[in-house]
Structure 1
Amino acid sequence: MRVPPLAEILASARVVALPLATRFRGVDVREAVLFEGPEGWTEFSPFVEYGDTEASTWLAAAIDWGWMPQPAPLRREIPVNATMPAVAASRVPEVLARYDGCRTVKVKVAEAGQTLADDVTRVRAVREALGPEGRVRVDANGAWNLDEAEHAVHALAEFDLEYVEQPCATIDELAELRRRVKYMGVPIAADESVRKASDPLAVARAGAADLLVVKAQPLGGVGRALEIVAEAGLPAVVSSALDTSIGLAMGAALAAALPELEFDCGLGTASLFLGDVATPPLAPRGGVLPVERIGPDVAQLDALAAPEDRRDWWLERITRCHALLEARD
C-alpha cells in the first residue's frame, strides 16, 4: 500500500464529535477524523484508549478506502441489525424505534456495574418486542470469565439466541465454552479475538468460534478483512466500530464483497447518533443499507466540529500513526 504524504492527509482533515442518543461503550460523544483522498472521503476513528501501533492499522484502512480502488460488490444492499446498548428494559422500545425495519437485534450484556439479572430483563424485553420470528444476539465484549459465560448462556438461552459474541476474553476460554455449550446449539462468535489479535486467524485454528465478527477499520481495510475471512474459512458478520456514515460505507463495501453473507450485519449504528456527518446519515431503511460511497455534508462538518484541543490531539495522533506506516512501508 502506498502511504500518501502526511500533508496530503492533513490538508482536508476535519475532526468531528458526534453526540450519542444513549451512552454506548462508555462514551457519550464519538470522535473521528475525516479526510479526502482520490477515491473519496474516508475515516480514521480508533477508540481514544488505543495505542499508536493498534491505531495505525485503522489509518491504513482509512488510506486504503480513500486512495485505493475497492473490490467489486456482489450485492447492492446489506441487511443490518439494530444495536441495543445496556439500557434499562423500559427503554428498549425507544431504542428500537430508531431502527427502521430491522429484524435482528444485538444486545449489549455484561456491562460494568450491572448484573446478569439486568441482562436477562433487557434481552427478554427485546425478544418480546421482536416476537418469535425476530433474531436476538448478545455481545459481552469479553467481560465474562468461563464459568460466568456458561451460566449466562444457560440463563439467556430461553430467548432463542442467534449467537453469543465474544463471551470471554481469551481464545482458550472461547474454545472451552464452545465445547461446554455445544449441546445447547448456541453458536460462539469472535470479535476482539480477531480484530485486536496479533494473529487474527488463531481463533479459527483453535476451533474457538463458529463465526467471525469482522470490522473494516481495525483489520486494515476491506481487502485485508476479506483475506482474513477467506483464510479462516468461517461465516462472517460485518460490524461497525461506532463509525460515522463515512466509515459505515467502508463496512458496507466489505459486506458487499463477501462471497457469502448469512447474517444481518452490525452496520446500523448511525441510528445511535443524535447527529451525523452525512445528510441523510447512512442509517437503515427497511432494515437495509445501500452499498455506496458517502460524502460529508459541509454544514454538518461545521456543526459537529470538535473543540480545538481535541482537533490538535487527533491530528497529532495521525502524525504519529503515519510515521509508523511509513516505517513499515
Structure 2
Amino acid sequence: MGRRTGQTGQVSTPAPLPPLSEILAGARVVALPLVTRFRGVDVREALVFEGPEGWSEFSPFAEYGDEEAATWLGAAIEDAWVPRPAARRDAIGVNATVPAVAAASVPAVLARFDECRTAKVKVAEPGQRLADDVARVRAVRDALGPEGRVRIDANGAWNLDEAERALHALAEFDLEYAEQPCASVEELAELRRRVKYMGIPIAADESVRKAADPLAVARAGAADLLVVKAQPLGGIRRALDIVAEAGLPAVVSSALDTSIGLSMGVALAAALPELDYDCGLGTAALLAADVVDPPLIPHAGHLSVGRVDPDPALLAAHAASADRTQWWLDRLTRCHAVLAAAG
C-alpha cells in the first residue's frame, strides 16, 4: 500500500499490503440480524479478519463498487497491521441512533442505548412525509427532555427548499445540528446561509466520506462540523489528517459495523485532539446479534476504548451462507487487487 501524504502534509505510513492469502486464511463472513430495519436492510453482513495487531473489519455496503470498497479494505488492513494512534481519552460519549421508525416506537429504540443523552434521528426516509419526521423528532425530544441533545440526519435526501422547510418545521425541538440535509456542497453552503439565523449548525457526512475531495466542504464554508468514519475514509490516520486540515469540529460515526469495526471508530475518536460532541458509535445496540461477547454497546452513555476480539462461537453461529461468504471473499480479492495496482 506504500507511503502516502496526508491532508496535513505529513507523511503517514500505512501497512505494506499483505498477501491476499494471508488475509483470506482467517477471513470470516457473518450475517447479523437487526432489531429494526435500518438503511434499507434487515441483516448486516461483514467480513472480519485478524492481523498482527488484532482483529479488523471490512464491511462496505453491498451496493458500493470495488474502487470505493477498496478504501474500506485499506482501512481494515491498516487497523490489523499497524498499531493504533495513541489514545487521548479512555471512554467515548455516544449518541443513540433512531431509525425512521414510527413515533410510537421511539421509546423502545432509545431504551437500547443505556443512559445516552444525545440522539441522532433519521429523517427524509423515502416513502415518508415531513409530518412523520416531525412526529419522530418530537417523540425523541419528549423522551430525552429539555436537557437532551437531538440531532437529525437526512443523508442528503432533501433538495435545498425541502431542507429549509424541514428545518423550519423541526426548529422547535432545539436541534444540536442537521447532518447532510442536502446532497451537494453548493446546496449545503446556501442552506447554511439561509438558516444561520435559526442557530442550527450544518454537519457534513457524505460530502466528506464519498467526495473526491473531502476538504471541499470546509473550503466552501458549507458546514459547521464534519462527520467522519474510519473505514470509508481509508483508516484512522487518514481521517485524523482530514479533520486537522479542515479545521472544523468532528463527530466520529459508524457504518452499522460489528463491534470489531466499531472499535476502530472508537480508536479514531480517542485519538482526536478535541472531541466536543457525542459520537455515533453506539450502533451495535441496533444489532440483534454480534460477534463479540459482550458487544460494544453503550454503558452510561459511553464506550470504552480498546481492541475487541470475536467469540469463536458467535462467529460460527452467525456465519453467512456459503454463497454470501463466497460473494464477500470474491469482493475482498477484487479490492485487494485494486490496492495492489495503486501501489
One-letter amino acid of the structure 1 residue matched with residue 121 of structure 2: V
One-letter amino acid of the structure 1 residue matched with residue 125 of structure 2: E
Residue 11 of structure 1 aligns to a residue whose secondary structure is: helix
Among residues 271, 280, 300, which one is paired with 2:294 in the alignment?
A: 280
2:261 aligned partner: 247
Residue 73 of structure 1 aligns to a residue whose secondary structure is: coil
1:88 aligned partner: 102
1:139 aligned partner: 153
Among residues 183, 186, 191, which one is paired with 2:197 in the alignment?
A: 183
Residue 70 of structure 1 deviates from its aligned partner by: 1.4
Deviations 1:210-242, CA, capped at 9 Å, x for gaps: 000000000000000000000000000000010
One-letter amino acid of the structure 1 residue matched with residue 98 of structure 2: M
Deviations 1:231-269, CA, capped at 9 Å, x for gaps: 000000000010000000000000000000000000000
Separation in structure 2 between the aligned mates of residue 241 and residue 293 of structure 1, nearest angstrom: 18
Residue 69 of structure 1 deviates from its aligned partner by: 1.1
User: How much is the aligned-residue C-alpha RMSD, in angstroms?
Assistant: 0.4
One-letter amino acid of the structure 2 residue matched with residue 155 of structure 1: A
Among residues 309, 312, 317, which one is paired with 1:303 in the alignment?
A: 317
1:166 aligned partner: 180
Residue 44 of structure 2 aligns to a residue whose secondary structure is: strand
Residue 58 of structure 1 deviates from its aligned partner by: 0.1
Among residues 124, 147, 162, which one is paired with 1:148 in the alignment?
A: 162
Separation in structure 2 between the aligned mates of residue 196 and residue 4 of structure 1, nearest angstrom: 26
One-letter amino acid of the structure 1 residue matched with residue 147 of structure 2: E
1:17 aligned partner: 31
Residue 293 of structure 1 aligns to a residue whose secondary structure is: coil
Deviations 1:106-128, CA, capped at 9 Å, x for gaps: 00000000000000000000000
1:25-44 aligned within 5 A: 25-44=39-58
Among residues 277, 293, 296, which one is paired with 2:307 in the alignment?
A: 293
One-letter amino acid of the structure 2 residue matched with residue 275 of structure 1: A
Q: 1:67 aligned to 2:81?
A: yes
Deviations 1:110-167, CA, capped at 9 Å, x for gaps: 0000000000000000000000000000000000000000000000000000000000
Deviations 1:57-105, CA, capped at 9 Å, x for gaps: 0000000100001110000000000000000000001101100010000
One-letter amino acid of the structure 1 residue matched with residue 36 of structure 2: T
Give the TM-score normalised by structure 2: 0.96
Percent identity of the aligned residues? 76
1:204-243 aligned within 5 A: 204-243=218-257
Give the TM-score normalised by structure 1: 1.00
Q: 1:79 aligned to 2:93?
A: yes
Separation in structure 1 between the aligned mates of residue 213 and residue 289 of structure 2, nearest angstrom: 36
- Size of the alignment, in residue pairs? 329
Residue 85 of structure 2 aligns to a residue whose secondary structure is: coil
Residue 172 of structure 1 deviates from its aligned partner by: 0.2
1:323 aligned partner: 337
Q: 1:258 aligned to 2:272?
A: yes
Residue 312 of structure 1 deviates from its aligned partner by: 0.3
One-letter amino acid of the structure 1 residue matched with residue 307 of structure 2: R
- Extract unaligned runs of 5+ from structure 2: 1-13
Q: 1:122 aligned to 2:136?
A: yes
